[in-house]
Amino acid sequence: MIKSYVINIKEMDDIEFALEELNEQMAEISLLKNSIGIVSLNWDYISSGIYEAVANALPFQLAGGTLLSVATKDEIGIFVFSVMIFTSDECEFSCAVSDAIPNEGNVDQITQNCYKKALAGLADKAKLAFLFAPLNPNHYAEKYVAAMSVIDESTPIFGTLTIAEVDNQFGGGKTLLGNECFDDKLVVVVISGDIEPQFYIGSVSDESIIMPNVGVITESNDNFVTKINNMPIENFFERIGYDPGVLNKGAQTTGFIMHEKNEEGEVVSSKVSGILSLKDGVGAFMGNIPEGTVMSVMTTTKEDIMKTAQATINELKKNHSEGTVLLYSCAGRMFCLMNEPMKEHEFLRDELSGDYSFMVAGSGGEICPTYVSNDKAYNRGHGHSLVICVI
């Protein structure tokens, strides 16, 4: 059994004030034998030195990453530094950081080594793994989870791709472990003990497709697409009225749904996939895009986002009347909320402020299993989704 607490550091500039806030909140918390803190914070907290000071002041490891926004019971906004503290007498926690993820090439070995290192810190089998990875156009979440699942296919993996906004540009954020932050490393946290994590996913509705079947991927390599409808990708987007430059902004309001088909032409999967970068004739998508995949353009309205959030929370509440809840919501959803970018966060805060200990963060890419059985966890990466882990 795990107990959880959420602390927030509002002070962004003065370390002394920040630490005062921290001490005040920590004085209210009784830590158990083992503890760990899952961090969600704005990039500025790192650059100001606050994060390092807080990490050094805490008696346990911090792990997490920079995210676009945070909502907890007491705080909500972009400039928030929140820590969800897990503490337990029975459960064990182990963390590891990987070697630097190269821009190109296979990342399996690096990922698996990091996972193994984390797992090695546990006496028992892991029941839950957290993964924090940098948002990198060359590597998408499912690469990491696929590599990790090879090591242990039964442990569910939950997490996020880190994201930051710097000078109005959205891009990859930093991963954090201890008092260090990394541009290009994975951070893995594994938990063993008597826990039964449950997972919920809210994605896009059927009405989100606004331009069905606009194109067929005719040339691609993994997540890099070079031709759609036999046209160079940039020409294709121009053809359908898209400014390719806009697509390079990073997080988007519009994404794409990729319908993967089998040899008989039947659709076997439909996944949301944003485009992370589009330059030099190559579009980097957030997932493997095989040739022959049919692409539809999607976006969601404010109503759709709130509807899917409501439905997901309802599902959660049906099964859990209390508990520790960690939520990551895609930055794209925030953009689709237009003039009310925090509306979903506010909604979730209002829904969970009762008997739940929770932390919501705006994510660069969601990691959550779609299904967990005794033997296997179907670990996947998601886009434009709200993913929830309940412990």
Partner 1 sequence: MTIEEFEALKQELKNERREKNRLLREIKERDSLLATYETSIKFFENLSNSFKKRSTEQDTYMRLMLEHSPDIIVLMDTEQKYITGTKRTLKEIGVDTDKLNESNFFDIIAEIVPEDFLTHLLNDFQTVVKNETELGYEKSIVLANGIEYIFTLILFPVRDETSVIIGVMLYVHDITELKRAVDEAEAANKAKTNFLATMSHEIRTPMNAIIGTTQIQMQKDNLPDEYMEALKNIYNSGNSLLGIINDILDMSKIETGKLELNLAEYDIPSLINDAVQINIIRIGSKSIKFALDIDSNLPLKLYGDELRLKQILNNLLSNAIKYTESGEIKLSVNHTVEDGDILLYFVVEDTGQGMTLENRARLFSEYTRFNAEANRNTEGTGLGLSISKKLIEMMDGTIWAESEYGKGSVFMVMIKQKSVDNDIIGTELAEQLCNFKFRGKSQDINLKFVREPMPYGKILVVDDIETNLYVAKGLLAPYGLNIETVDSGFAAIEKIQSGKVYDVIFMDHMMPKMDGIETTIKLRESGYKEIIIALTANVVVGQSQIFLENGFDGIISKPIDVNQLNNILNKYIRDKQSPEVIEAARKQSENVKAEPETKPGADSELLSIFNRDAKKSLQLINSIFQTIESVSDENLRLFIVNVHAMKSALANIGKKEVSNLADILEQAGKKQDITTIANETPLFIEMLQMIITEIDEQLDESSNSVVDSDPEFLCSTLKRITEACDEYDDQAAEEALAELKEMVWSKDTKDLLNKIKEHILHSEFEEASAKALEYIDSPLTLLESIEGFDAEAALKNMADLPELYMDTVKLSIRLIPETIAKMDCFIAKNYIEAFTIEVHGLKSVLKNIGATIAGSNAELLETAGLEDNGSYCVEYYPAFRESLIKLISRLKEAFPVEAVTKTKALISTLAEPVLKAKTAAGNFDCNNALDIIRQCAMFTYDVETDELLNKIIFALEAFEYEEALKAISVLEENINGI
Q: Which of residues 332-371 bind partner 1 (CB under 8 A)?
A: 334-336, 338-339, 341-342
Examine residue 191 and tell whether it contacts partner 1 (CB under 8 A): no
How far apart are CB 5 and partner 1 at their closest, in Å?
24
Q: How far is the CB of 363 from partner 1 (least distance, A)?
A: 14
Using the contact rule CB under 8 A, the part of the chain among 152-160, 218-226, 240-248, 312-320 near partner 1 is 240-248
Here the tokens at position 373 are: 């059985």
Q: Please give the Cα distance from 97 to 120 (Å, whole number).
A: 13
Ranges within 5-24 binding partner 1 (CB under 8 A): 11-14, 17
**Judged by CB under 8 A, which of 118, 278, 297, 316 binds partner 1?**
297
Between 68 and 372, whose beta carbon lies closer to partner 1? Answer: 68
Smallest separation (angstroms) from partner 1 to the CB of 215: 12
From residue 201 to residue 230, the character string flagging contacts with partner 1 as x (rule: CB under 8 A) and all else as - is: ---------xx-------------------
For partner 1, how many residues bind (rule: CB under 8 A)?
A: 34
Q: How far apart are CA 171 and CA 125, in angstroms?
A: 35
Contact 36, 132 (CB under 8 A): no
CB of 212 to partner 1, least distance (A): 11
On the 0-12 / 13-18 / 19+ scale of CB atoms within 10 A, 378 is middle
Handedness of CA 343, 384, 202, 43 (dihedral sign): negative
The distance of closest approach from Cβ of residue 247 to partner 1 in the complex, given in angstroms and rounded to an integer, is 8
Question: What is the number of other CB atoms lying within 10 angstroms of the CB of residue 391?
Answer: 22
- Angle between helix axes 108-120 and 141-151 (nearest 10 degrees) is 50
Site string for partner 1, 243-262 (x = CB under 8 A): x--xx-x-xxxx--------
Binding to partner 1 by residue 299, rule CB under 8 A? Answer: yes
**Closer residue to partner 1 in complex, CB, 57/342:** 342
Helix axes 302-319, 343-352, angle to 10 degrees: 20
Binding flags for partner 1, 105-134, as an x/- string (CB under 8 A): ------------------------------
Minimum separation from the CB atom of position 84 to partner 1 (A)? 22
Question: Please, what is the minimum distance in Å from the beta carbon of residue 299 to partner 1?
Answer: 6
DSSP 8-state code for residue 248: G
What's the closest the beta carbon of residue 176 comes to partner 1, in angstroms?
A: 20
H or E element at residue 303: helix 302-319
CB of 256 to partner 1, least distance (A): 12
According to DSSP, the residues that pair with 371 across neighbouring strands are 378
Strand partners, 243: none
- CB-based contacts of 303-308 (< 8 A; 24+ apart in sequence): 304/204, 304/205, 304/207, 304/208, 304/336, 305/333, 305/336, 305/337, 305/343, 305/344, 306/343, 306/344, 306/347, 307/205, 308/202, 308/203, 308/204, 308/205, 308/386
Interface region with partner 1, contact rule CB under 8 A, candidates 114-122, 149-157, 242-250, 257-265? 242-250
Q: 3-state SS of the chain: helix, strand, coil percent to 5? A: 25, 40, 35
The answer to whether residue 242 forms part of the interface with partner 1 (CB under 8 A) is: yes
Question: Would you say 200 and 327 are in contact if contact means Cβ atoms under 8 Å apart?
Answer: no
- Distance, in Å, from the CA atom of 353 to the CA atom of 365, rounded to the nearest integer, reads 25
CB-nearer residue toward partner 1: 13 or 153: 13
Pick the closer one to partner 1 by CB: 4 or 299: 299
Residues contributing to the site for partner 1 (CB under 8 A): 11-14, 17, 44, 77-79, 165, 168, 170, 210-211, 240-243, 246-247, 249, 251-254, 297, 299, 334-336, 338-339, 341-342
